[in-house]
Each structure stands twice: as structure tokens, then as C-alpha cells.
Amino acid sequence: MNFDFSDEQKAFGEQTRRMLDALDPIADARSTLAGQIPYSAKAWRGLARLGFQAVTIPSEHGGLGLSPLDLCTAAAEVGRSLAPVPSLSSAYVCSEAIRLFGSEAQQARWLPGIADGSIIGTWAAPERGVELMQTTVRTQFLKDSLWGAKAPVLDGVVADLAIVLAATDRAAPILTLCELNATGVHRRELESLDPSRPVAELTFEAARAEPLGTADWRAWETIQARAAVLLAFEQVGAADRALWMARDYALTRKSFGRPIGSYQAVKHKLAAVYAKNEVARAHAYYGAWAIASDADTLQLAAAGARLAATEALSFAAQENIQTHGGVGFTWESDCHLFYRRARHAALILGPTSVWKQRALTGLTEQLESTLS
């Protein structure tokens, strides 16, 4: 049995790496920190030329008609490069939501633009001050209009379209589609630890919207789980890059006439990072399989990938700074960019406490099924 990606999938990842390396997206990440650009338009266009945004979109809507599995190796390279692009918002969440749950008219209208990168999508689910649950959604969808506020909304500053989770007079919230350049939508950029993934507050005052097919809360949980797996690949890619940064520095930085990498304590630190990265990679692979096979264990697999990848990137980013020593804490070093991305990625799809509960629920259901 082969648990690896195909040669074509690996080649797609390698092409993505070469393209991103040529564009030096870390320089663009620094530009976002300085407030000069909201995201890297050149990296986003480069990904569009490779077909990154079009991978899962059906061919009749300008896409490649492939599986999310074919996107995983490229997602890892986006994470490795720290490219400041709306990959999670547009390609992993908005595009997939419309593809899976949108009507034929909605797919025909929006997917071609998302596929070629000319339209950036996002999602607006969380609301300030409350834990996101079915009973705490306060944004209202009434008479084809949205009322309320959502924050933080990833890439809400630059997105053209949003999937908005809103309450109705029905028992459960539904997903709606809203054009963010329309009348009644107000944006306000929020401060973030990682400006390379900007967030905003969106306020809706009689903003025109429409239901996303028949998508409800359960549809949102499915979208979130699938996005968590692809984000896990980005996190693993970034964790690998942080490990190699630390390793390369440890081989060149000398202390008492010896490279610091020759000391056992440093070797142990880097070995611990490697071990966590490999555990996270295994969970990400399992999540990718669960998506590709439409397995009943998707929620459990996604929770495992989310938790393992979040821990791996957080640990790798911290150890990268520690290995670099004093210089690792400076603005000139790239170490803090990985730390920012790690802390931001740990929260943007929901805190780890939520995913731990999902993992516990999934394991309990699996155990009960085995015993019954």
C-alpha cells in the first residue's frame, strides 16, 4: 500500500517551491509588516499561473477538476515560503464552500474568478466576545440582507466575497454569500500579530446577501475540517523551514571554536523539532486521505492534523529563535516571522481547545462504534 503522494503531486509542489523561491515572498512578508502592501499580489498571480487556486474547481468553471489531495504538496510550499497570500481564505475555505454547497448559478458566477485569482474570497464566522457555537451567532440574515458584525475576518481587507455564517428564524445558522464591495458592508482593519495574514472587522447594515445553497452549521463544520487539513500542510511546511534555518545557523555559528551544532544540547533541541514535525506530517497525511476518500473520520483526522501541526510549528518557531540566540530576537532576523505565523495560525480556524474537544468527541464515537 502506498501512503505517499504521486509523482505528479510531488512535481506540483516542486514547481510551487521554485516559483515562490524566485519571488522571495519573505521580503513581501516584511512589506506587510511595514504596512506597505496588504498581501503579495505577485505571489498570488504566480500561484494562479500554476493553477493553485484552480486545483479543486471543476473544469466547466475554469478549474482543473482535481482533488484537494492534489493541493496538499503545494500548500506545504506556501507555508514553507511564508508567502503572504490569501490561500486559506480563498482556496481552502471560500472556493471549497461554493464548490461543495453552492447552487449551480453561484458556482458559475464565482468559481471562474476564484480559479484565475482575480476574485479573492474569505469567510466570516467568528464574532467578538463570544465563543463560536450555533447558539452564539448574532449576525442576522433577514429578508435577503445581513445585519451585524464579524471579527476577526482573515483577509477581510482585500477580499471581494465572503461566506458569512448568520442566524435566521430557523433552528440553526446558515451560510450566506455576500459581496464585500456592495452597499451596506463596512470594513475596518484590525491589528494583528502577523500582518502578513491581515484581519478585519466586517460590519453589515442591510447588506445584500443570499443563502449558499442549503448550507447550514454542519456544512460549516465540514468546510472548517477540510480547511484545517490544508492549513496543517502549510504549518508543517513552515515548521520544516524553521528547522532548516536553525540547522544551517547551528552549522555556521561558532562558540569556543566549535560550531554550536556540534554540542549535544543543540542536537537534542533540533532532534525534538524534527520529531514533532514528523508526527504533524503523519497527521496531515491522514487528514488528506480522509478528505480524498470522504471518510467518516474526517472530523477526527482534521482535529489530529490541526493539533499536531499547530504544536509542531509553535515549537519549531520557538526553537529556531533559541538556536539563533540573541540575533534571533532582532527585527533583522527572519525568525520572528515564523513565530508570528505560528501564533496566528494557532487561532485563525478556532483555538486548540475547540479542536481538542473535537478530537475527544471523535475518539469517543470511534470507541463506541468499536465496542457496539
Write out pLDDT tens, residues 176-209: 999 999 999 999 999 999 999 999 999 999 999 9
- Using alpha carbons only, give the angle 194, 199, 204 rounded to the nearest 5 degrees: 170
In this prediction, residue 3 carries a pLDDT of: 66
Instruction: Examine the pLDDT at 1 and tell me if it is beyond 80.
Output: no
In this prediction, residue 55 carries a pLDDT of: 96
Q: d(Cα 36, Cα 44) in Å, to the nearest integer?
A: 16
In this prediction, residue 366 carries a pLDDT of: 82
The model carries a pTM of 0.95
For 63-80, give one letter per residue: b (16+ CB within 10 A) or e. Answer: bbebebbbbbbbbbbbbb
Burial of residue 253, with CB atoms counted within 10 A of its CB: 0-12 exposed, 13-18 middle, 19 or more buried: middle
The grid coordinates of residue 172 equal 440553526
In this prediction, residue 370 carries a pLDDT of: 81
* Mean pLDDT, range 348-352, rounded to an integer: 92
Q: d(Cα 97, Cα 220) in Å, to the nearest integer?
A: 8
Kindly report the average pLDDT of the chain as a whole number: 94
